[in-house]
């Protein structure tokens, strides 16, 4: 029996990179939070403190900023692939690299009815995400979004559930359904029109949320995942995570006021949490590199 080092990685988390394109009078902005992590023969750093194979996390940060200029920032998936390939191909001991990116959206300020050339307001809706892993077995891209807060004021019910001795919840045929979507989807390859697909995946999910007469948040998630997989063969798996942000009818009948699902208390905690994977029966399995790209260790 011996004590050994298992899986490990190290890197620089949360480099806040803002890239302005100003070659034209109408500037462009990209606003990212970039985390890099490297894998390879780093046991000596752990066991005896030998750093000779260790590229400092400060260097990784420098590289991310340098690439914002030398490679530019288009789709975050492409930028992530550039960074990951660099570490694996150009830095000798590195055998795997994982890049995680969050992108914050801005919208142009409107001045005198027209979009302004170099002023924006933070959009503040969902955060777009990408997780890219490159190693000897291939290149893996997982796109996603988080904090997409969405609410419907009708078209949601919850009935016919299992009852045990601790069940006190009444059934409802009309309730508010609200969530803050956290979704990741993995692609079969890297030849993808990232930005267009992203916009359409979001649109497809919003449409299902809005139009399905929902019998459970589970059902809504399933239809979201199914709609995306049907539309995009290049996407092989969706992982959806959706808090059920409870909106409780406030009891104003005590004050001789009828509450026809009009006045709600929006609760903070506790909240329901539904997690589901939707895939194809012939989807390639989520191997270790996929899992790592998804942040699943």
Residues numbered 176-195 forming contacts with a second copy, rule: CB under 8 A: 176
Catalytic residue among 61, 184, 245, 246: 246
Q: Does 279 bind a second copy (CB under 8 A)?
A: yes
CA distance 140 to 291: 10
Sole window of 77-85, 128-136, 188-196, 260-268 interacting with a second copy (rule: CB under 8 A): 260-268
| Residues 275, 231 contacting (CB under 8 angstroms) | no
Residue 12: active-site member:
yes
Give every CB contact of residue 248 below 8 A, 6+ residues apart in sequence: 264, 265, 267
- Find the helix or strand (DSSP H, E) in which 183 lies: strand 177-187
Give every CB contact of residue 160 below 8 A, 6+ residues apart in sequence: 171
What is the smallest separation between the CB atom of 129 and a second copy, expressed in angstroms? Answer: 16
| CA nearest to 19, candidates 54, 55, 49, 64 | 64
Q: Which of 89, 266, 284, 287 binds a second copy (CB under 8 A)?
A: 266
Dihedral, 61, 63, 65, 68 alpha carbons, nearest 10: -140
Q: Does 91 bind a second copy (CB under 8 A)?
A: yes
Catalytic residue among 12, 86, 184, 247: 12
Residue 146: active-site member:
no
Q: Does 173 bind a second copy (CB under 8 A)?
A: no
Sole window of 74-82, 132-140, 189-197, 273-281 interacting with a second copy (rule: CB under 8 A): 273-281
Return the exposure string of 191-208: e unless at least 16 CB atoms fall within 10 Å of the residue's CB, then b. ebebeebbeebbebbeeb
Q: Which of residues 13-72 bind a second copy (CB under 8 A)?
A: 13-22, 27, 29, 31, 35, 37, 42, 45-59, 61-63, 65-66, 68-70
CA distance 245 to 271: 6
Q: Which of 84, 183, 225, 289 binds a second copy (CB under 8 A)?
A: 225
Residue 211: active-site member:
no
Q: Which of 196, 277, 284, 287 binds a second copy (CB under 8 A)?
A: 277
Number of residues that bind a second copy (CB under 8 A): 144
Catalytic residue among 27, 57, 71, 152: 57
Residue 38 phi, psi dihedral angles, 5° rounding: -120, 150
Q: Which of 85, 200, 263, 288 binds a second copy (CB under 8 A)?
A: 263
Catalytic positions are 12, 57, 246
């Amino acid at each position: 029996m011996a004590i050994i080092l298992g899986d490990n990685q190290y890197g620089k988390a949360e480099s806040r990179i803002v890239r302005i394109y100003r070659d034209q009078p109408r500037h462009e902005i990209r606003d990212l939070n970039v985390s890099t992590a490297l894998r390879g023969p780093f046991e000596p750093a752990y066991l005896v403190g030998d750093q000779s194979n260790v590229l400092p996390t400060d260097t990784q940060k420098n590289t991310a900023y340098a690439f914002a200029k030398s490679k530019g920032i288009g789709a975050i998936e492409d930028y992530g692939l550039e960074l990951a390939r660099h570490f694996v191909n150009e830095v000798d001991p590195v055998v795997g690299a994982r890049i995680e990116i969050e992108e914050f959206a801005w919208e142009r300020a409107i001045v005198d009815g027209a979009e302004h050339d170099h002023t924006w307001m933070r959009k503040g809706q969902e955060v777009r995400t990408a997780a890219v892993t490159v190693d000897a077995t291939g290149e893996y891209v997982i796109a996603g979004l988080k904090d997409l807060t969405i609410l419907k004021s009708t078209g949601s019910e919850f009935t016919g559930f299992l009852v045990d001795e601790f069940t006190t919840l009444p059934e409802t045929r009309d309730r508010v359904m609200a969530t803050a979507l956290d979704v990741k989807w993995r692609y079969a390859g890297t030849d993808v029109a990232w930005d267009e697909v992203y916009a359409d995946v979001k649109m497809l999910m919003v449409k299902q949320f809005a139009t399905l007469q929902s019998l459970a948040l589970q059902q809504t998630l399933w239809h979201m995942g199914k709609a995306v997989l049907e539309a995009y063969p290049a996407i092989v798996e969706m992982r959806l995570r959706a808090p059920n942000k409870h909106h409780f009818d406030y009891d104003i009948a005590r004050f001789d006021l009828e509450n026809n699902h009009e006045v709600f208390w929006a609760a903070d905690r506790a909240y329901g949490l539904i997690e589901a994977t939707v895939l194809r029966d012939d989807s390639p399995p989520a191997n270790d590199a996929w899992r790592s790209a998804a942040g699943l260790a």
